[in-house]
């Protein structure tokens, strides 16, 4: 991929996930706000474009191996991977983090009142993400998989009740924006997940888990916004649809 000032952040990370580290370093959101161009983020962050591009190119040439080249995967592979990896991660880690935050609020909440806000934000995030994942697993992902099967067999596919796949995708992307804002707030409240010097092991463990949770969520959102959703929209365009009678 040839980089220009008009290349979007999402396109860059979708092309090579190693570049995500560069955007994280510069505090540039590559998942929820991946539609922004290099020119736009550099102007907002007061970063020299040529310098950022140099760092991106260096990351792409680094010897670190990518585990997977997600952009080459079919949509059904991506939906399966997201469900089995990122959805399961959220389901497993959310109750553990909430347990730790409950304890921290009870023991340290008077001295560190920000813990109560962190607990409130994460609790809302956990509830909303659970509903979000159900919408994906029960409605959106099955339809994407259905389109893929129909395409491979040269069949038509009926228009679903939600109309174009663009409609639920728009709703899911809005959910992603909400979670991005929530975790930016949590990061600020935790000083980028840095526990106080005198903190106990529970405090440290909670902040480590929160940081890991955000990192996984950013990759999760990136895979959907910048890889899966564009592929699904293109797949929908690949064949004519018939409507329900």
pLDDT digits (tens, 9 = 90+) for 145-187: 999 999 888 888 888 899 999 999 999 999 999 999 999 999 9
Contact (Cβ atoms closer than 8 angstroms) between residue 218 and residue 30: yes
Contact (Cβ atoms closer than 8 angstroms) between residue 15 and residue 48: no
Which residues of the chain fall below pLDDT 50? 64-65, 241-245
**What pLDDT, on the 0 to 100 scale, is given for residue 210?**
96
CA distance 193 to 162: 40
Q: Where are the domains of the chain?
A: 9-60, 72-242
3-state secondary structure of 242: strand
What pTM did the predictor assign?
0.77
**What pLDDT, on the 0 to 100 scale, is given for residue 244?**
45
**What pLDDT, on the 0 to 100 scale, is given for residue 102?**
95
Q: How far is CA 40 from CA 51, 88, 116, 149, in A?
A: 14, 35, 35, 39
Contact (Cβ atoms closer than 8 angstroms) between residue 158 and residue 244: yes
**38-73 per-residue burial string, b: 16 or more CB within 10 A, e: under 16:** beebbeeeeeebeebbebbeebeeeeeeeeeebbeb
Q: How many residues does the chain have?
A: 245
CA distance 117 to 109: 10
């Amino acid at each position: 991929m040839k980089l220009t000032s008009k290349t979007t952040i999402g396109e860059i990370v979708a092309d090579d996930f190693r570049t995500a580290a560069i955007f994280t370093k510069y505090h540039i959101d590559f998942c929820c706000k991946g539609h922004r161009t290099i020119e736009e983020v550099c102007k907002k962050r007061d970063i020299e474009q040529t310098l950022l591009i140099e760092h991106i190119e260096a990351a792409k040439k680094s010897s670190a191996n990518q585990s997977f080249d997600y952009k080459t995967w079919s949509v059904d592979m991506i939906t399966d991977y997201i469900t089995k990896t990122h959805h399961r991660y959220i389901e497993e880690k959310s109750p553990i983090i909430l347990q730790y935050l409950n304890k921290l609020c009870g023991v340290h909440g008077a001295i560190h009142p920000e813990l109560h806000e962190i607990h409130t934000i994460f609790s809302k995030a956990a509830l909303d993400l659970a509903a979000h994942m159900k919408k994906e697993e029960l409605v959106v992902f099955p339809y994407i998989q259905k389109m893929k099967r129909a395409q491979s067999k040269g069949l038509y596919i009926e228009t679903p009740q939600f109309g174009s796949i663009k409609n639920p995708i728009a709703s899911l992307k809005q959910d992603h924006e909400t979670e991005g804002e929530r975790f930016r707030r949590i990061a600020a409240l935790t000083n980028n997940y840095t526990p106080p010097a005198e903190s106990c092991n529970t405090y440290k463990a909670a902040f480590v888990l929160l940081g890991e949770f955000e990192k996984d969520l950013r990759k999760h959102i990136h895979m959907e916004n910048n890889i899966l959703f564009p592929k699904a929209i293109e797949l929908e365009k690949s064949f004519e649809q018939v409507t329900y009678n």
